[in-house]
Amino acid sequence: MNSEISPKKFNSLFRFYKTMVVTVEGKDTLVANGNSFFDISKPSIICLHGSGLDHTCWLALVNKLKLKEYNFVIPDFPGHGYSEGSSLKTIEEQVNWLEKLIKKLKCISPIIIGHSQGGLVALSYCMNSNNIEKLVLVNSANKIKVHPDLIKLAMDNNPKAVDLMLKWAYSGHNKSYTTEKVAKKILNFRELSKTLAVDFIACDNGEIDEAKLNNIRVPTLIITSSNDKMVPATLSMKLSKFISKSSVEQIEETGHMTLLEDFNEVGDIIKKFI
């Protein structure tokens, strides 16, 4: 695991939920499993985090879902959270890494839920894989453009990058501990130039051709937010024109971080879909 994290601190931090370490491409990957240990006999739900984040952004939602008949597989991407390695520079590299993780865990036809960049990775994976049951996209699209000034701030390790991102990411209606404080803690866990900046550039260059989206033939749920400034709802909704088995749900008065701002409603929508 990350040499900066002592075993004592690691064990204390994760005493409230189950985790495992999976070796992918020779590097240790932290995978959270929610309230139950991974059981190879169960189907799996894989949750993919967004730029600069890690598995902890999913925990409130997973606790809300309480789907005991499924495994939850919630990894920290390389170079994020408690996973070893360097951040992967392209969406394609992240898709290849995801495929290796799925094979390593022997997940057969998992449900994949992706937030923001994680959704872009999930979309790319689903276009070229038959090994998936359903797809859920939260505040995501086939193209996620990032403002050049935001990329520059992150590359310079300027803390204003985090402040600006959170200003754009939250609608401001929910001031609970699950929103800005948690996200800011996550974003400041690693050096911005090695995580957030790399992720932003991967997103900016990771556009998927709309014509290729019709390769996705599994049931797909698209969750948007009325106040999302980073991936506007209109951009997310447009996916439904190209993905034949898709449906759209919009959550009002939330921004880009819907899974933190309103995890109760997101959870209810996902449970109905699953």
Instruction: Express each pLDDT in 51-88 by its tens digit.
Output: 999 998 998 899 889 898 999 999 999 999 999 999 99
pLDDT of residue 4: 34
Percent of the chain whose pLDDT exceeds 70: 88
Under CATH, what is the fold of the domain 7-273? Rossmann fold (3.40.50)
Q: Where in the chain are the domains?
A: 7-273
pLDDT of residue 10: 40
Length of the chain: 274
Instruction: Express each pLDDT in 122-168 by its tens digit.
Output: 999 999 898 999 999 999 999 999 999 999 999 999 988 888 888 87
204 Cα distance to chain centroid: 16
Contacts of 217 (CB under 8 A, 6+ apart): 244, 245
pTM score > 0.75 for this model?
yes
Q: Measuring CA to CA, how many Å separate 45 from each of 23, 35, 125, 133, 192?
A: 19, 13, 15, 10, 29
State how beta strands 246-251 and 18-24 pair: unpaired
pLDDT band at 174 (very low <50, low <70, confident <90, very high): low
